[in-house]
Chain A
Amino acid sequence: MKVKVIVTLKNGVLDPQGKAIQQTLNGMSFQNVSEVRQGKYFDIEVNESDESKAKTQVEEMCKKLLANLVIEDFKIL
Chain B
Amino acid sequence: MKSSVIIFPGSNCDRDMDVALKKFGFKNQMVWHNDSEIPKSDLIVLPGGFSYGDYLRCGSIAGKSNIIKSVIDFANSGGLVLGICNGFQILTETGLLPGILQQNKYLNFICKNVFVKIKNKENKYFMNIKKDVLELHIAHNEGNYFCTKDELKSIEDNGQIAVTYCDHKGNDDEENNPNGALKNIAGIFNKKKNILGMMPHPERMIDPFLSGEDGSLFFKNLIGSL
Contacts and interface: CB of A to CB of B under 8 A. Distances in A.
Contacts of B107: 16-17, 20
Interface string B138-158: 000000101110010000000
B12 interface: no
What DSSP secondary structure best describes chain A's contact surface? Answer: helix
A27 to B, nearest CB: 16
A13 B56 contact: no
A66 interface: yes
A72 to B, nearest CB: 9
A14 B102 CA distance: 9
Contacts of B64: 64-65
Contacts of A14: 102, 105, 144, 146, 180
Contacts of B57: 68
Contacts of A13: 102, 146
**Interface residue range, chain A:** 10 to 19
B100 A71 contact: yes
Contacts of A66: 56
A70 interface: yes
Contacts of A70: 98-100, 146-148, 151
A17 B60 CA distance: 20
B86 interface: no
Contact of B102 (A20, A64, A65, A71): A71
B93 interface: yes
A71 B89 CA distance: 14
Contacts of A65: 56, 60, 64
Interface of A: 13-14, 16-17, 20, 64-66, 68, 70-71
8 contacts: A13-B102, A14-B144, A16-B104, A16-B105, A17-B103, A17-B107, A64-B64, A68-B100
Given A16-B104, A16-B106, 9 more contacts: A13-B146, A14-B102, A14-B144, A14-B146, A16-B105, A16-B107, A70-B99, A70-B146, A71-B100
